[in-house]
Structure 1
Amino acid sequence: MDKISLIAVIGGITVILAGQALEGGHVGSLLQLTAFMIVIGGTASAVMLQSTPKQFVAGVKMLRWVFQPPDFDHERVIRDIVGWSQTARRGGFLALEGAIAAQKDPFTRKALQMLVDGTEPDTLRSVMDVEIAMFEHARRQSAKIWESAGGYAPTMGILGAVLGLIHVMENLSDPTKLGSGIAVAFVATVYGVGSANLLFLPAAHKLKNLIAAEVATKELVVEGLAAIANGENPRLIETRLRGFLAMHD
């Protein structure tokens, strides 16, 4: 659990509600189902329209990364690669067949299989680089739905405000209905701007950083296996990988 993300979301909502209370307003006045439906429903519809079903579903599932980010253990990857290089140095590439079966990551399995099959280093690198590019593109397209939501939400808030004011204008002769219309108008704006800047845009930026870390892990694997294919010394490979990792931090 990423505690700082949880604290950030709860803290952001709390300060808004506290500010409302300090100004003498009622917290309950910010709870408007109609405004919520217009902003969140409209934003979701706009995002769905611009995305493919696969991208939308993947993006929604990826939101959990904000609070439970994957563990991209670069140090473990470096240790594994150095271990593989030592194994290959003693018993040849075929000695790594056992490591292939032990890998859960399909990308690493494929790269190791190419190494065991005696693929040339440049070929291994070029093939796996294409895989990385395709993977990164798919990930970023999925994460982009939250960036798009951050752009649509304020506009939906304005739309909700306009609809609320239309309701007010239609009921000028009935003062009892004016309050609800005005409330929807202003609360919809709060929902639109607040959701965009407290949730959607920050989540999109965090997902981008996590995707970059995931891509760096795959690049680390390719760099290390290409070095093994070149027959480089394990200590030299470790030094290179740590320098490579420092460039991507």
Structure 2
Amino acid sequence: MDIIVPICLIMPLAINLLGIIGGGGSLGNFLDIASIIVTAGGGANSLIMANDIGTVLGVPKAIKVLLQKPAYSEDQIIITLISFSEKARREGLLVLEDDIQEVSDPFLKKGMQLVVDGTDPELVKNILNTEIDNIESRHDSVRKVFDDAASLFPAWGMIGTLIGLVIMLRSLGGGGGLETIGSGMAVALITTYYGSVIANGFALPISGRLAARHSSEAMVKSIMLEGILSIQAGDNPRIVKDKLVSFLPPAQRQKVNEQVGDR
């Protein structure tokens, strides 16, 4: 499990709790059923309207994915591709048939199988690029849900605040004094508070985390694609290594060089 994610999901609640108690407030003052209905209900309704219902229902799955550490390792993938390159250069592409069956990553397995089957290089490139584009599209649709949440929930919080202000100002006509104004203003602002916490405590950070995960996975897929095409082209393993390690930061490059040597 990626321990950073659950900690950062709990921290907004803890920080707000400490802020309320430390400021001498009461939790009861921050709980208002009507405000919760307006902010959460209105935001959720708009979120469903703005996105495909299947994508919205898939949000818990996205959170579950974030809780798990990535199953891939860039340096190990590069080492695997270099070993494939060496074997293919010595004995031919067909000898990789058995090795492919042990590959766990579907993208790498699919690409290598296309190569072993003798598929035209341009077609291999097009198929794998289409796969990458579809992955990006799926990731973007999930991330859009959180981006929309970051704008819609605060907007409904503001709507709730306006409702509260209208009710408060109307009540002043009935002879309410400063106590009425203070109490009414507090209730009116709670909806804005709810919307801001949802957006800045959860929606935006999760969207950013998903974007970082996608960026990392996209780089891995690019490494795989470059390696697959290089193996199919019969490039020297040393050239394959130099191509692939160029994707990595210096520290990881050194790690790969130490494991594969000067090939």
Aligned partner of 1:98 in structure 2 is 98
The one-character-per-residue Cα deviations of 1:12-48 (angstroms, maximum 9, x if unpaired) are: 3222222222322112322333322322222222111
Aligned position for 1:235? 238
Cα RMSD over matched residues? Answer: 2.7
**Structure 2 match to 1:31:** 31
**Cα distance in 2, alignment partners of residues 180 and 68 from structure 1:** 45
Instruction: Please say if residues 20 and 26 of structure 2, whose CA atoms lie closer than 8 Å, have aligned partners that are also in contact.
Output: yes
CA–CA distance in 2 between the matches of 1:102 and 1:197? Answer: 43
Tell me the TM-score normalized by structure 2. 0.82
User: Under a length normalisation based on structure 1, what TM-score does the superposition of the two structures give?
Assistant: 0.87
The question of 1:10 aligning with 2:5 is answered no
**Matching residue's letter, 2:98:** G
Q: Unmatched 5+ residue regions in structure 1?
A: none
Any residues of structure 2 matched to 1:96-175 within 5 Å, and which? Answer: 96-169=96-169, 173=174
**SS across alignment from 2:71:** coil
| The 10-residue stretch of structure 1 (211-220 or 1-10) with the greater mean CA deviation from structure 2 | 1-10
Q: Report Cα offsets for 1:119-170 as digits up to 9, x if no partner.
A: 2333322321122112212211121110110011111111122233344456
Secondary structure in 2 matching 1:118? coil
In the alignment, what sits opposite 1:19? 19
Q: Deviation per CA, 1:96-125: give whole Å up to 9, x if none.
A: 222332233332222111110122333322
Range with greater deviation from structure 2 (186-195 or 82-91): 82-91
2:190 corresponds to which residue?
Answer: 187
Q: Which moved more, 1:153-162 or 1:180-189?
A: 180-189
Report percent identity of matched pairs.
30
CA displacement at 1:180 relative to structure 2: 7.3
2:78 aligned with 1:78: yes
Partner of 1:196: 199
Shift of residue 69, structure 1, vs aligned partner: 4.0
Q: How many angstroms apart in 1 are the aligned matches of 2:112 and 2:48?
A: 38
Specify the code of the residue in structure 1 equivalent to 2:143.
A
